Chain A
Amino acid sequence: MTTLVPHTLHLTGRHVRGFLRQPAFVIVTLVQPLIWLLLFGQLFRGIVVLPGFGAGSYLEFLAPGVVIMTVLFSSGWSGMAFIEDMDRGVMDRMLSSPASRGAMMASSVAYTGFTTIIQSLVIVLVAVASGARFAGGVVGVLVMLVAAVLLAAAFGSLSNGVALLVRQREALIGFSTTLTLPLSFLSSAIIAREAMPGWIQTVATWNPVDWAVTASRSALSADPDWTGIGWRLLGSALVALVLTALATRAFRAYHRSV
């Protein structure tokens, strides 16, 4: 247990160094959310006249949605690094060393949190540069970062756990896309709650992706609903904790397979 924190730091350092050594990947990480932002921004430009959208521009509405979607997609890939480590023998070496399993999971979550924060800030900056104004200010942005990181922790762990169970790229890609696409469309990421069919509203109520979007959007608005934000962040934190713990248990399944 005493090794959890130092090992998490060392292993997170490894992930971050590896990331910075791949300039192409850094660029994709930065550009991809912008594509979402511009694409949806153009596609649904007229939508602000529909009921349920605030008075502001659609960009202001969309930015937190794109932040959360981007985070969801990126963290869904998290397990790929585990599979690469399996293929390269790094996983087996770690598992026969005193490396803490909890730290292996936590460092992956921390690294996903690191890219999440970078991506989110890029989106916010570009949205502001394009004329969006977030009444919630810095506090609103910070709350959004917390919501984004919690969601990334939940889905990053889930992806890692599935990677340890299936141990195969194709299976993980299939799982990740099958889960993340519907979850983002069953949320208010790109469309206001009031504009959704009734059953989707019901699903969204129980969808952690919607919790993150709703909490972020509310925090960025002129008049945040702090109680609603608090509950949603708490729910996200619980989901993240449970999924991280479950994913750490999946190391046992991996041990049985080698």
Chain B
Amino acid sequence: MHAAIQAEALVKRYGDVTALDGLTVDVPPGTVFGLLGPNGAGKSTAVKVLTTLTRPDSGTATVAGHDALAEPALVRRSIGVVTQRAGTDPQATGRENLVLAGRLQGLSGTEARSRADALLARFGLSDAAGRVVRTYSGGMARKLDVAMGLVHHPPVLFLDEPTTGLDPAARAGMWTEIATLARDEGTTVLLTTHYLEEADQLAERVAIVDRGRVVATGTPDALKSDLRGDTVVVGLGPDDDPARATSVLRDAGAGEVTTEGRALRARVDDGAQAVPALLAALERNGVGVSAITVARPSLDDVYLRLTGRTLVGAVEAEVAA
């Protein structure tokens, strides 16, 4: 069966910035596909190209069986788009926004109204349906955004960071909706996210994007098992020198040692076996340890290994800013 979304060697430059640098993805129909990457990786740019908002400098893209460059009008009829920024009219009510979106997608007045009401109910917005969107909370507006992308039952749906700004309960609700779309309605979903958990939970396949290209792609499990061994996280005491502790760990046989504040992360073949030896080596060299944990590799580790950054760190920095 043909891929629902296929992008081949997309390049997009904005002046000196190369936002996409040969990005290639392939999304099978009826699946949820996650694009993971740090800020500025090119996720939104990829979505803009695939949703016909902008043209790439080179490369090809096929969406829902249509060439996104040669037949953008056909692509637009087959896709739902939820952009990273809001896309609703704050001066109109929730229902008016949905009805207008439906009419522009070619639904009749009756169809558009009943579809709007169904979506409002599905996203828990029925009570706010008659209020102008300006008065919505951030989370309500985000739900409406996602609902707007669904009015015409699109076979292919693009969600650019759909859960950013949602509280944990609302995020869980959104995950259920997204999973349902793919499972019960056969919708192909391309989702970008900073949340590894989200990709891990929802996406059958993920692509890790860094500096405009895909640096790894596969199922979350396959990506994780590509990483041999376990991660050991060592919390240092207040007087310890991270640089010194790093060299001690390296001498004791740990790989890929990185520092994050007062914690060191390292990779070992078998955590249970390695911990006593690492602790002994640290103690011998006078490094005090406040905590030590062993973890099976997470997508975050895959990410760190490929991009040299942790996603969790990047998201926290963004939230703090």
Contacts and interface: CB of A to CB of B under 8 A. Distances in A.
A90 B73 contact: no
Interface string A5-41: 0110011011001100110000000000000000000
Contact of A98 (B48, B54, B76): B76
B79 A96 contact: yes
Contacts of A22: 91
Interface string B11-49: 000000000000000000000000000000000000010
Contacts of A99: 104
A23 to B, nearest CB: 13
A14 B103 CA distance: 12
Contacts of B148: 93
Given A97-B105, A98-B105, A258 B89 contact: no
B19 to A, nearest CB: 11
Given A88-B86, A93-B87, A14 B92 contact: yes
B105 A14 contact: no
Contacts of B81: 93, 96-97
Given A92-B53, A97-B76, A10 B89 contact: no
A8 to B, nearest CB: 11
A103 to B, nearest CB: 9
Nearest to B88: A90
Contacts of B100: 10-11, 13-14
Contact of B104 (A10, A21, A89, A258): A10
A89 B79 CA distance: 17
Nearest to A3: B106
Contacts of B76: 96-98
B255 interface: no
A99 B77 CA distance: 10
Contacts of A88: 85-90
B104 A7 contact: yes
B83 interface: yes
B227 interface: no
Contact of B89 (A18, A92, A96, A256): A18
B51 interface: yes
B192 interface: no
Interface residues of B, number: 29
Interface residues of A, number: 25
B87 A92 contact: yes
Contacts of B85: 88-89, 92
Contact of A21 (B52, B91, B101): B91
Contacts of A95: 52-53
Contacts, number: 78
A90 B87 contact: yes
A92 B89 CA distance: 12
B230 interface: no
Contacts of A17: 91-92, 96
Contacts of B104: 7, 10-11, 94, 97-99
Contacts of B132: 21
Contacts of B73: 98
B265 interface: no
Given A88-B86, A88-B87, A14 B54 contact: no
A21 B92 CA distance: 9
A251 to B, nearest CB: 11
Contacts of B88: 88-90, 93
Nearest to B48: A258
B143 interface: no
Interface in A88-144: 88-90, 92-99
A188 B100 CA distance: 43
Nearest to B89: A90
Contacts of A6: 103
Given A14-B92, A17-B96, A96 B106 contact: no
B144 to A, nearest CB: 12
B211 interface: no
Interface string B81-115: 10101111111100010001101111000000000
A96 B103 contact: no
Contacts of B194: none
A18 B51 contact: no
21 contacts: A10-B104, A11-B104, A14-B89, A18-B89, A21-B132, A88-B85, A88-B90, A89-B83, A89-B87, A89-B88, A90-B88, A93-B81, A93-B88, A93-B148, A96-B51, A96-B53, A96-B81, A96-B83, A97-B101, A97-B104, A98-B106
Interface of A: 3, 6-7, 10-11, 13-14, 17-18, 21-22, 88-90, 92-99, 255-256, 258
Interface of B: 48, 51-55, 73, 76-77, 79, 81, 83, 85-92, 96, 100-101, 103-106, 132, 148
